[in-house]
Amino acid sequence: MLGDLVTANAVTVGMTTASVAPTERGTGVHVAGLVFRNPVVLAAGTAGFGQEVDDVLDLSALGGIATKAVSVAPRHGAPPLRVSEFAGGMINAIGLANPGLEAVRADCLPWLHRTHPGTRVIVNVVGNTVEEFERVVGGLNGLPGIDAFELNVSCPNVKAGGMEFGADPVALAALVGASRAVTTRPIFVKLSPTLGAGVVDAARVSVEHGATGLTLINTMPGLVIDATRRKPKIGFGSGGVSGPALLPLGLLATWRVSRALPGVPIIGLGGISTGVDAAQYLLAGASLVGVGTAALRDPRAPERIARELAAWAVREGVRDLTTVIGTLEWPA
């Protein structure tokens, strides 16, 4: 596994110390004060809270899992059809369906902690107001087994005419600051590709107001049409585009942010379907890599990607994966 490829003194990301505690599979990557078995994590929404894929996926082979979104109240989500594939990947409008804060706190997260205690758990948080984000983070903060929070700031701010939190520096600062006030755990802020070059500014605002790291990138808004029915392929109409088509967008966002904010942990996400894709994110500056659409197509894909990343490291003579983070050589 990947943990066996890194040395006993692996470089840490987002920490002041360079020592890394050993895990059951050797030495893992140390990110934001947490030891991960390897850099591969499941992206939010692709594996629920772990239970949904427990019979087909070995979570102990991965570094961690970002859970399904958690909101204050239960959400039933968007109407069917919620997911549709196309040549470049997948489009979805799940509508952030989830059982709500109380059920997640009472059942979903305790199960994950009991059955997979060595797997890092990053709780994805959504809301329509700053106060809702604060309530979810504060409501889960004392629960055992939660290692970090991930704030989905692509949500619309109902108090600002529906503008995404991530597109409004003032609202973004308030959201991250309010969440930081109720937890000392690491906070990752998940940013949208629609920000373009402005993703650097949003990342900087997030870090300045308490974020530990960033998740780059979320899905891209899009539309796929059923030409026979002359209607959108999915029930909501438009949706979030994910899959291979997002790889160049995610890599560019990761590169831009890693150059502007050196040392800030990044979970690189978007279009990863092979170990070489994952390696590209590390070269661009990511500390961890998230697998999403590939896992929806094949629940065993994350394990395969982890193995392929290990094989890439062997081929390239890389003994310590942390030594390649951010080493992309830009053309002169």
Q: Where are the domains of the chain?
A: 36-318
What confidence score (pLDDT) does residue 163 get? 79
- Is residue 146 within 8 A of residue 125, CB to CB? The reply is no
For residue 110, give both structure tokens.
């305790």
Average pLDDT value over all residues in the chain: 89
86 falls in which pLDDT band (50, 70, 90)? very high
What confidence score (pLDDT) does residue 313 get? 92
Does residue 307 sit in helix, strand or coil?
helix
Gap between the Cα atoms of 155 and 195, Å rounded: 14
As a whole number, mean pLDDT of residues 302-321 equals: 93
- Is residue 40 within 8 A of residue 65, CB to CB? The reply is no
What DSSP letter does each residue of 203-247 carry, written as one string? HHHHHHTT-SEEEE--PEEE--EETTTTEESBTTBSEEEESGGGH
0.85 cut: is pTM over it?
yes
Q: Does position 16 have pLDDT exceeding 50, yes or no?
A: no
Q: Give one word for 326, left, alpha or beta, with left for phi > 0 and alpha for psi -120 to 50.
A: left
The pLDDT tens digits for 23-77 are: 333 236 899 999 999 999 999 988 999 998 899 988 989 999 999 999 999 999 8
Q: Does position 139 have pLDDT exceeding 80, yes or no?
A: yes
Options 155, 214, 220, 252, the catalytic residue: 155
Q: Determine whether 155 is an active site residue.
A: yes
What confidence score (pLDDT) does residue 119 get? 93
At the topology level of CATH, where does 36-318 sit?
Answer: TIM Barrel (3.20.20)
The pLDDT tens digits for 101-116 are: 999 999 999 999 999 9
As a whole number, mean pLDDT of residues 286-310 equals: 95
